[in-house]
Amino acid sequence: MIRAAIEPEESPARQGLRKALSLAVTNDSPHLLVLDQATGDDPLDERLRWRRHPDGVIVYDAGDDVYRHHSVVASRALIPLCHLVLAPGATGRTFYAARSLTPGPRRARVRVTGHLVPLDDVGLHVYTSPERLHGASTTYRPVSGDPAQVGGVVIARCGRAEMVEATAEVDLVVEADPSAEAALERAGPGAALVERPRRLGGAWVAEGRDGAVALVDDARALRCPGGLVDPAVWRRLDDAPPSAPLLVMFRSDAARALRDAGALPLEGVDVAQQALAPAALWDLLAECAARRLTVRWGRHSGTSDGLVVA
């Protein structure tokens, strides 16, 4: 029904860093394919979502049979927008990032999922907007005309549509990075590599036997006691581009005392939320360790999340 394929890779991947794979998805069915997501078999591989919940709210008007997306509302919409729809026989191409902390040969597997909507029923399931530049309010109406020409961003009711999946595989060689061994040595006996965030310039995160976590790059190392940093922090750092500032909230009296001490290069987004350059996370963690404060990842508002210091 659908096929997924990855172009063979001749160049090696580098330990801990993203390897861009060329992924193609083909719709061999006679139906419209609304793609959902692509996921890898390694926890560090990318989760590529074509169905995304945008900022704002999306409401359904039953009287007019339309959806309205109000993007300026401070919330996260419960109804997703679908960013890739394939007509019968069409192929969509994108890049997918695989990543591994372990050097050596690896077979990377990517699982693609989606829903098939019969062309005769497209008007009941798929809503599209004729507006190319979406503004503060965008209206999505049932598809009319040639259903095979549906494209762009749509809203799709996929609850009863047939779910399909396809798997693509490719053989990779993960090249050992000498900095990994150096990071393990600096982290202490029995340490294991946990992450390598791009947002921290490719610094290694290693966890020791005692639960302590070391942040290590070529120039420095910082050791954080066990329990200081929630593991979700390392997983979520790369949700935003490497240059994007970290959003930080200080939620205890001791945390606010750190905020007000002037020891960190903070920029106020508002009274409660501050912005911190990714490279300054080292300084934040060092200050939190000295003051016995904890760092975790959490929601800041209806539209943002980030670091929470308490």
pLDDT of residue 133: 58
Q: Are residues 183 and 167 in the same domain?
A: no
Final residue of a structural domain among 153, 175, 197: 175
- Give one word for 152, left, alpha or beta, with left for phi > 0 and alpha for psi -120 to 50: left
Q: What percent of the chain stands above pLDDT 70?
A: 99
Residue 240 CB neighbour total at 10 angstroms: 14
- Between CA 5 and CA 224 the distance in angstroms is 42
pLDDT of 270 over the 80 cut: no
pLDDT, average across residues 269-290: 91
Q: Are residues 167 and 208 in the same domain?
A: no
Final residue of a structural domain among 118, 148, 175: 175
For 194-249, write each residue's pLDDT tens digit.
Answer: 999 999 999 999 998 888 899 999 888 899 998 999 999 999 999 989 999 999 99
Final residue of a structural domain among 137, 160, 175: 175
Tokens for 307, please give them: 């670091």
Q: Are residues 143 and 129 in the same domain?
A: yes
Q: Which domain holds residue 208?
A: 178-309
For β-strands 246-250 and 305-309, DSSP reports them as parallel
Number of domains in the chain: 2
Q: Are residues 111 and 211 in the same domain?
A: no
Phi, psi values for residue 236, rounded to 5°: -95, -10
Q: Are residues 162 and 97 in the same domain?
A: yes
Amino acid at 300: H
pLDDT of residue 263: 92
pLDDT of residue 183: 87
Amino acid at 159: G
Q: What percent of the chain stands above pLDDT 90?
A: 76
Full-model pTM: 0.85
Q: Are residues 159 and 13 in the same domain?
A: yes
pLDDT of residue 134: 67
Q: Are residues 114 and 247 in the same domain?
A: no
pLDDT of 109 over the 90 cut: yes
Q: Are residues 123 and 6 in the same domain?
A: yes
- Between CA 59 and CA 94 the distance in angstroms is 30
pLDDT, average across residues 131-142: 80
Beta strands in 118-252 (DSSP E): 126-128, 137-142, 154-156, 162-175, 192-195, 204-207, 213-216, 221-224, 246-250
For 8-52, write each residue's pLDDT tens digit.
Answer: 999 999 999 999 999 999 999 999 999 999 999 999 999 999 999
Q: Are residues 80 and 53 in the same domain?
A: yes
Q: Are residues 222 and 152 in the same domain?
A: no
Q: Are residues 171 and 182 in the same domain?
A: no
pLDDT of 271 over the 90 cut: no
CATH number of the domain within which 9 lies: 2.60.40.10
The answer to whether the beta carbons of residues 268 and 262 sit under 8 Å apart is: no
What is the residue-averaged pLDDT of the chain? 92
Q: Are residues 186 and 171 in the same domain?
A: no
